């Protein structure tokens, strides 16, 4: 039976990630426990069914950026009865992706996520960013065609 040679650097990267996770847990265990964070979903991107394509892509990109920085995060986590988009466990900053962050919605989010263990709330207003999702929709359509999934509606 043929065996593959190990991927260079993979073991080192995994060990480094484990060391970082152990350090995070040692420093923040009381906060993690008090906020009832399920570590089973650590660094996993989860979606709510009613999120738009743009919302899901912005959440994925944000999580990718956090992951690249070596941060640990959870998504769709309840805080004070509301569900936050992304919670950075290194900084305890809540990130909320909004299609239209009206003043009343921003105030509601500030009230919803006011908690002694949460350091800050950052609202990413997609409308103010002036993003075009067309290139990503083209990528999605190409993957759809190649995979045979046949996603039919084109939403933004």
Instruction: Report the first-to-last Cα separation within the chain, whole angstroms.
Output: 49
Instruction: Encode pLDDT of 17-65 as tens digits.
Output: 777 888 888 888 999 999 999 999 899 999 988 888 889 999 999 999 9
Instruction: Encode pLDDT of 65-106 as tens digits.
Output: 999 999 999 999 999 999 999 999 999 999 999 988 889 889
Residue-level pLDDT at 133: 84
Asked whether the predicted pLDDT for residue 7 surpasses 60, the reply is no
């Amino acid at each position: 039976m043929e065996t593959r040679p190990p991927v260079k650097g993979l073991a080192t990267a995994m060990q480094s990630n484990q060391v970082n996770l152990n350090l995070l847990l040692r420093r923040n265990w009381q906060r993690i426990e008090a906020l009832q964070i399920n570590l089973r979903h650590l660094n996993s991107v989860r979606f709510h069914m009613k999120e738009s394509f743009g919302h899901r892509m912005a959440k994925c990109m944000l999580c990718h950026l956090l992951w690249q920085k070596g941060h640990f995060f959870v998504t769709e986590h309840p805080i004070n009865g509301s569900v936050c988009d992304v919670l950075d466990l290194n900084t305890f900053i809540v990130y909320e992706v909004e299609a239209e962050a009206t003043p009343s919605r921003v105030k509601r989010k500030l009230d919803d996520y006011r908690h002694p263990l949460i350091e800050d709330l950052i609202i990413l207003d997609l409308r103010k960013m002036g993003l075009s999702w067309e290139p990503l929709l083209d990528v999605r359509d190409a993957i759809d065609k190649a995979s045979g999934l046949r996603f039919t509606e084109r939403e933004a």
